[in-house]
Homo-oligomer: A and B are copies of this chain.
């Protein structure tokens, strides 16, 4: 059986493989009929070697060339919108429309175009010039490949060859080695075709954009440790992420992880009394979106013990129970979700609804709601703040308001934290302030009176947070130009003659509009020698 070729050094090439695999349709459990290679270490290291040369060449590429690549890539994906969304639907079971064909597709295309704009403006480089000392610095490419490893749950917007890490890493002019997620290799193949065609169109250096489908775990770790890999971007499970992190840490390679998050949500008494039904509707919709398979899905809901709290829980349970379970990304995902639910039950939570796989041939799981009282939660907060990746949430019921603050204090790092309060009720305001103070250093994005799902690609957003939600609290995985800084090195030129400087650090502003920090002031003017 012939396997699909991988994209190596600008060629679609069939290489000797360690093994092969075939994706299946999670809606039916049937194989989709294509066979993809599990690439061996020698192939991975060959890609790294090609990337080494590409890194040197890309260093000299004008930003406009990268901008043209990103825009063409976006255009080509846009043109093949139906075909790509159809393949993603077959491979992931996510709804074709509007989820894949419009929502995620638009976000993916928009992200690539925003990255192109950032590349052309060059503002993200943060060029700083001191003419008196003749000292000039800015963000530059890393000098090696960025290995982008996309997750199962966003086959387009987080795809290693088209998603956020990809856009940010190549915006900084790093070559890319993308790894497909093995649950959607066909989608990744189509996106890689767009990337390959766009790279040819923009005449990018050979090896700027490479892609493989799968590898043995140990071979992946060896690739990470290669001296030609400058950084890694990974979105996925904590278990795998921490293994990759150990390999990257060993060689001092920056690795950006987006791992698990339970996205705690605090419903304050006044808010419950004022808008219980509205919140139940909003939160159930957030939980149900994408079958709960989103990193910002609200998995921990803290409510005070009061009539409106009881009503909220009832309403939430009803809404989740009434909705039909949708197909999940894979049978493995269903198994993982069930294990997580069992783990939370084992540590004292009780089932309100759900808690079992749906007994048919599809990969589906009953919508699940659990509850536990605050005292119990606070006895073993580490065991009970456990991600359940799917439509499943744990409600913690607090007899006393103080327990809400204590629960906030017991949380480890999360991508988001949400507070629902009634700003007209002085007691809610005071409690919200206290919880905010405790929650603030524990989450990347603090939300008021809304839900955490639905992340905007925006200069002001932060999709990040403290460990173990991510690997570093100082960065964001979403948002441009901010996410580019993950894949850049800060470098300085000390008394280097004008002709040997990168254009962005010469006296003349290379675009006429680029913002540079010259002798203490941000300006788009030229620098004058002192």
Binding site for B on A (CB under 8 A): 55-56, 59-60, 128-130, 133, 135-137, 139-144, 230, 245-246, 249, 251-254, 413, 416, 423, 429, 432-433, 436-438, 440-450, 456, 458-462, 464, 466-468, 471-476, 482, 485-486, 488-497, 499-500, 515, 517, 520, 522
Contacts and interface: CB of A to CB of B under 8 A. Distances in A.
B467 A489 contact: no
B492 A446 contact: yes
Contact of A495 (B129, B436, B444, B450): B450
8 contacts: A59-B441, A130-B459, A139-B474, A140-B440, A142-B473, A230-B441, A254-B473, A447-B495
A471 to B, nearest CB: 6
A270 to B, nearest CB: 13
A462 B437 CA distance: 34
A124 B433 CA distance: 25
Given A59-B441, A429-B499, A473-B489, 7 more contacts: A137-B461, A137-B462, A444-B491, A445-B491, A449-B495, A474-B490, A522-B522
B494 A474 contact: no
A413 B251 CA distance: 11
Contact of A460 (B128, B141, B142, B447): B128
Given A441-B143, A522-B522, A456 B133 contact: yes
A253 B497 contact: no
B441 A494 contact: no
Most chain-B CB neighbours within 10 Å: which of A55, A438, A440, A489?
A489
Contacts of A517: 459-460
A444 B476 CA distance: 23
A491 B473 CA distance: 8
